[in-house]
Amino acid sequence: MLPMIDRRRFLSVGALTATVPGFLAKTGSLLADDKSLANKERVLVVVQLAGGNDGLNTLIPFRDDAYYKARPKIGIARTKSLKIADDFALHPEVGDLRKLYDAGELAVVPNVGYPNPNRSHFRATEIWETATPEKDVLTGWVGRYFDAECRGVPSPMLGLQLGEKPAMTFAHPKGRAVTLTNPSLFKWDDATGQAMERLNRVATTDNPQLDFLQRTGNDTLSLSRKIQDALKDGKSGAEYAPFNFSQSLKVVAQMIAAEVPTRVYYVSLGGFDTHTTQTGRHAGLLQELSQGIGSFVADLKALGHLDRTLVMSFSEFGRRVSENEQQGTDHGTAGVMFLAGGKVKAGVHGSRPDLSDLDEGDLKFKTDFRSVYSAVLKDWFAADASKVLGAEFKHLPILA
């Protein structure tokens, strides 16, 4: 912020304050004044479990002796796991997810993957985010959805990610998404803001990087007001655990309740790369996941926005079936996805993994993850899924 004396001088410099560009003034007041743009449409919250979540210890095939044989040290005991279906039980630390399941608000998809699985964190993450395993593409599946279906929506933040590294899910040449670590960063005093607005006014040059910086600068400055407006009440309908993932979901809930023009939110929970002594760490992560989503659903229900909200979790891969020598698990293939919200068809949508038919120690997937995306696009957003995904995928009845 500028020191007092500078601020006064700034305000006396007419040229600095008088010429806030017209379109900036418009976007700046978009949220505060123009309720016609308030978002009453459905929203999706993508939850990334980064590092490769161990699906077999999340959704446990507790009747399968092969599971306990492959995991003598880290397997989850039958007696401790939370049974949810004939063949499946949940990890003991996901009690809140179990409650959602019982309340008809949680769908579970086991054994999700894709042909020729990749075991590199980066490539596998790209595959899930681009929904294009066959080749390298530079657009994310939600980025393509925005481009195909949301052209008319006047919002620079159709996608909003709380995190550090922009997720490829939103990637598109006509990017409509924003990534931020901490919303309180978007505060500066008016005089500084106005000077910066003028310094960032777009004047196209022959340097594409300079133009990119001007455009992003512009977006940042117009966003700052919107975000502050959405969060100023700080209303919350539930208690959240005081941890990063839970608190990020709390912010997302506030934004949804403030009806900001965002369609897809993206939040990450990292640390799932459990190569060594995974039991305690994995339990902590699953507890955070479960309590975070539990609070989020309760919050939105209390605020009356659960019916327009869908949560979907994914992870770049599951882990190898057999535990390793260090009481951990190495990179594997198929994993488990969760969908939560008011309009899901509760249940486990798929059969239990066949541990007697493995591909070099790894699970063979049974449901293509693009079938899940397809259901979200078609049944949640009423979008043309095959256009966004580039092909038709088997329809999964996971949404009401």
Instruction: Please give the residues from 94 up to 133 whose contact with another protein meets the rule CB under 8 A.
Output: 95, 119-123
Query: Least distance from C-beta 5 to another protein, angstroms?
Result: 7
CA distance 32 to 309: 23
Query: Least distance from C-beta 180 to another protein, angstroms?
Result: 3
CA distance 185 to 177: 17
Nearer to another protein, 175 or 350 (CB): 175
Query: Least distance from C-beta 386 to another protein, angstroms?
Result: 29
What would the two tokens of residue 216 be?
Answer: 């992003």
- Find the binder of another protein among 29, 228, 236, 247 (CB under 8 A): 247
* Per rule CB under 8 A, count of chain residues that contact another protein: 84
- Find the binder of another protein among 115, 173, 234, 280 (CB under 8 A): 280
- Find the binder of another protein among 66, 137, 241, 399 (CB under 8 A): 241
Span interacting with another protein, options 61-69, 77-85, 173-181, 228-236, rule CB under 8 A: 173-181
What would the two tokens of residue 107 be?
Answer: 């769908």
**If 0-12 CB within 10 Å is exposed, 13-18 middle and 19+ buried, where does residue 1 land?**
exposed
CA distance 258 to 227: 10
395 binds another protein (CB under 8 A): no
Query: Least distance from C-beta 317 to another protein, angstroms?
Result: 13
269 forms beta bridges with 49
138 binds another protein (CB under 8 A): no
Helix (H, G, I), strand (E, B) or coil at 348: strand
Residue type, 356: S
53 binds another protein (CB under 8 A): no
364 binds another protein (CB under 8 A): no
Query: Least distance from C-beta 170 to another protein, angstroms?
Result: 10
178 binds another protein (CB under 8 A): yes
Query: Least distance from C-beta 219 to another protein, angstroms?
Result: 6
Query: Least distance from C-beta 289 to another protein, angstroms?
Result: 10
CA distance 292 to 238: 11
80 binds another protein (CB under 8 A): no
73 binds another protein (CB under 8 A): no
- Find the binder of another protein among 54, 87, 93, 149 (CB under 8 A): 93
What would the two tokens of residue 13 be?
Answer: 């410099």
399 binds another protein (CB under 8 A): no
Radius of gyration of the chain (CA): 23
Q: Are 60 and 324 in contact (CB under 8 A)?
A: no
252 binds another protein (CB under 8 A): no
**If 0-12 CB within 10 Å is exposed, 13-18 middle and 19+ buried, where does residue 357 land?**
exposed
Other residues' Cβ atoms within 10 Å of the Cβ of residue 127: 24
Q: Are 220 and 245 in contact (CB under 8 A)?
A: no
**If 0-12 CB within 10 Å is exposed, 13-18 middle and 19+ buried, where does residue 345 land?**
middle
Nearer to another protein, 130 or 248 (CB): 248
Chain positions 186 to 215 lying near another protein, rule: CB under 8 A, are: 186-188, 192, 195-196, 198-201, 203, 205, 207-210, 212-214
Site string for another protein, 24-43 (x = CB under 8 A): --------------------
CA distance 248 to 267: 7
Q: Are 359 and 352 in contact (CB under 8 A)?
A: no
CA distance 48 to 245: 10
Query: Least distance from C-beta 308 to another protein, angstroms?
Result: 24
HSE (side-chain half, CA atoms, 13 Å) at 311? 32
Q: Are 95 and 290 in contact (CB under 8 A)?
A: yes
Span interacting with another protein, options 5-13, 350-358, 372-380, 390-398, rule CB under 8 A: 5-13
- Find the binder of another protein among 41, 63, 72, 277 (CB under 8 A): 277
Nearer to another protein, 29 or 279 (CB): 279
- Find the binder of another protein among 53, 130, 139, 224 (CB under 8 A): 224
179 binds another protein (CB under 8 A): yes
What would the two tokens of residue 288 be?
Answer: 């955070």
